[in-house]
Amino acid sequence: MIFRRALFAGAVGRFEAAVRARDPQASQEALSMLHQRFGPASDAEIAAAAVRLAALLPEVPAGPRARVALIVGACVERGADPVASAPALLTGLRDVLGAAARFPERWRGAGGGELPLPDAGDPHSGVVTRVGQEVAVAWWTLPQWETAALAVLNHRSVRDAVTHRPELLAAAGRIAGAADGHLKCLIYALLVLDDHPLVALHRTTRTGYRLRMTGIADNFQLHTLLAAELAGAGHVPGEVPAPEAVAVCRDLPGQVPTWGTFRLTAPDGGEIWNEGTPSDIPEVDGVRLLVLDPPPYARSWPAGRFFAQMPGDLVLERVLDPTETERWLDRVAAAQR
């Protein structure tokens, strides 16, 4: 077993040498070997390979680069350091998003027709002829880059360190519609708020609460945790989620059916949809400001996490005093005039 495990480190070395020698045939053979020998590799080999392969990414030709990014992401999922791997992965993602953004326009300019969807494998020659090699490969490998990026973005340490998140979000947003939803998960991950304050106002009881949210990817998860923190503690009336439903919204695996407790409302009266993200909640004076109204109808969903590998949390920091609550409610009333 020790010998078999050592074969993975050898495959990494062979791939590095082939890439730097600009030997396509040897690179392809070594890359296939990496896939074959990944499973039995030791934890130490996985950790070392992630750093080495991430550093190699800029030198890998555009075609196989996405496959290497996937291997780096898989190494992170097996315990390699996400912070060490993330910069090269996210730089590669940025470049691919930029190139892929040119695909729809070039496709239309070269004759139009139904836009091909990003897919695994290599783009066929007709696509390359119409839009160019770089753009075609970028478009074709979007799903692979998304998967690789999510492996590191699941970690808060990476999300805290990403300085060009707005740039990545803008680039992904420009092509998400044309990519038929392929980039939804990437966009949701880039929108996650960490250690972010939330003020929730319960309109019926005219009470207010300051909370702090981390790693919450969608409002189904937020809704369930809000119900646990507020209704579950007896601060407000309403449906209390089961402890199991709360646990899977924080860090346990799986999904548990639960029922809605509130109608989530923006200060101006607009709906904050469960299908959206906490970033949809308007920011007022540095906090997200949310109004909790009675639910207009009974609604259930499978409570859990949008990203199974991303722990989430919502903590009630304090109950607002009546004077502070009324000030916030006055802001809400002014927004609705």
DSSP 310: S
Closest among 281, 315, 311, 50 to 156, alpha carbons compared? 311
pTM: 0.94
- In tens digits, what is the pLDDT along the chain, a chain of 337 residues? 344 557 899 999 999 999 999 999 999 999 999 999 999 999 999 999 999 999 999 999 998 999 999 999 999 999 999 999 999 999 999 999 999 999 999 999 988 788 888 876 788 888 899 999 999 999 999 999 999 999 999 999 999 999 999 999 999 999 988 888 889 999 999 999 999 999 999 999 999 999 999 999 999 999 999 999 999 999 999 999 999 999 999 999 999 999 999 999 999 999 999 999 999 999 999 999 999 999 999 999 999 999 999 999 999 999 999 999 999 999 999 999 8
Instruction: Output the six-digit token pair for 225.
Output: 């945790």
The tokens of 113 are what?
């027709």
Spatial contact of 26 and 101, defined as CB atoms under 8 Å apart: no
- In whole angstroms, give the CA distance from residue 212 to residue 196: 5
The three-class DSSP label of residue 210 is strand
User: Which amino acid is it at 193?
Assistant: L
DSSP code, position 229:
I
Residue 6 phi, psi dihedral angles, 5° rounding: -65, -20
CB 60, CB 19: distance < 8 Å: yes
Residue 291 pairs in a beta bridge with: 201, 265
Contact assessment for residue 185 and residue 150, using Cβ atoms and an 8 Å cutoff: yes
* Alpha-helix runs per DSSP H in 154-200: 156-161, 165-176, 184-191
- The structure tokens listed for 333 are 């009333």
- 20: which 2 tokens? 């730097």
Structure tokens at 2: 């020790």
- Beta pairing class for 287-293 and 196-202: parallel
**What single-letter amino acid sits at 114?**
E
